[in-house]
Amino acid sequence: MLVVAYDNRSEIEIADSILEELEDAMVRTLLHQEIEVECEVSFSFVSTTEIKELNREYRDKDAVTDVLSFPMYEAFIRNRETIIKNNPFLPLLLGDVVICIEQAETQAQEYGNTLTRELSYLSVHSILHLLGYDHMEDDEKSQMRRIEKEIMGDD
């Protein structure tokens, strides 16, 4: 159901068990959203320096962030059936996810989470972005947070 192409450009080693948890979180997200075709995601782990550069280049924000998502399709949710139907190739490329592992570690400590739990949440969050969800407006934010909680099993 999901092909993930990992690229670790950070200096922090990511255990296979963590990658398995991330893939599980991403698959749960696709199932929750009723995406029933094989999909592919490019998934990179980067340093604080690199994510800051990417954030500045693509979002005009000169700051470290935890995750950036680069969807292949701008309005996937609204046009999901057309995109899937008109794409003769599988897996369907959803886009790219870039996570700053150092920032994820910091956030995990701040929120009292394990690194695995924090990375799983960021994976769910990113896949939702690749599927067209956003959190710029309050109603979008509350919808996205509700979905994230359902997928993560949070009360």
What is the Cα–Cα distance from 25 to 151, expressed in whole angstroms?
Answer: 8
Position 84, amino acid: I
**Which residues are CB-neighbours of 154 under 8 A, at least 6 positions away?**
148
- 135 assigned to a ligand binding site: yes
Q: Token digits for 69?
A: 């998502």
Q: How far is CA 110 from CA 8, 115, 122, 144, in A?
A: 24, 11, 15, 22
- 125 assigned to a ligand binding site: yes
Strand partners, 44: 7, 98
Residues placed in the known binding site for Zn(2+) = 125, 129, 135
Residues placed in the known binding site = 125, 129, 135
